[in-house]
Chain A
């Protein structure tokens, strides 16, 4: 890297440091707010990492690969042969398929806030172990609403 660029970057960092010190000394509330924001952000990142580790633990290698490659996780029904659920990786409606045909979009959400990967795990566990209640609780939306929700999201 040329010497003048090193000096430029060094100067910029120094200016940024001086600016931050000024803000901190002149506006303590702003500095406290920034610290709180940073702490909240760090907490959220750590929660996401823990949730991702749990999801990875609950899925087989091929399920995890499918989720990463396609953006959804497929779970077969234990009640009804030919029925399949597609759980989106990043939120939205769960697709309910009968013999390969989309018949409904299911909307069910946890009542307390949990990280995104935990939501995927929650849907999978509920479908596998508590399918009847899951179907009873979720709102069943028409297939066209499923597609329009996807379009809005992506």
Chain B
């Protein structure tokens, strides 16, 4: 299962999709992928940064939504304090 986790003041919001079902053309899975893609683009437009995360491996920054990623974490924009 693919997961998109967006950090916010309420903790993280999670959007889940099934890449195998999406690949097979399942309408619900495709809808979930589209929703994740929409949120990804919206957050990126706000200045957030996205990372693909795999257990035990360093995070990789993502410029574009990757529906094959196991887990994507979106963090808010940072500023120097």
Contact = CB atoms under 8 A, between A and B. Distances in A.
Interface of A: 43, 46-51, 54, 58, 60, 78, 107-115, 118, 121-122, 124-126, 128-130, 133-134, 137-139
B27 to A, nearest CB: 30
The 8 closest A-B pairs by CB, nearest first: A50-B11, A107-B81, A129-B59, A139-B80, A47-B11, A129-B61, A128-B58, A128-B59
Contacts of B60: 129
Contacts of A54: 5, 7, 11-12, 73
Contacts of B49: 125-126, 129-130, 133
Q: What secondary structure prevails in chain A residues at the interface with B? A: helix
Interface residues of B, number: 25
B55 interface: yes
Contacts of B76: 110-112, 114, 122
A113 B11 CA distance: 10
Given A46-B11, A50-B12, A125-B53, A111 B59 contact: no
B66 to A, nearest CB: 13
A125 B79 contact: no
Contacts of A46: 10-11
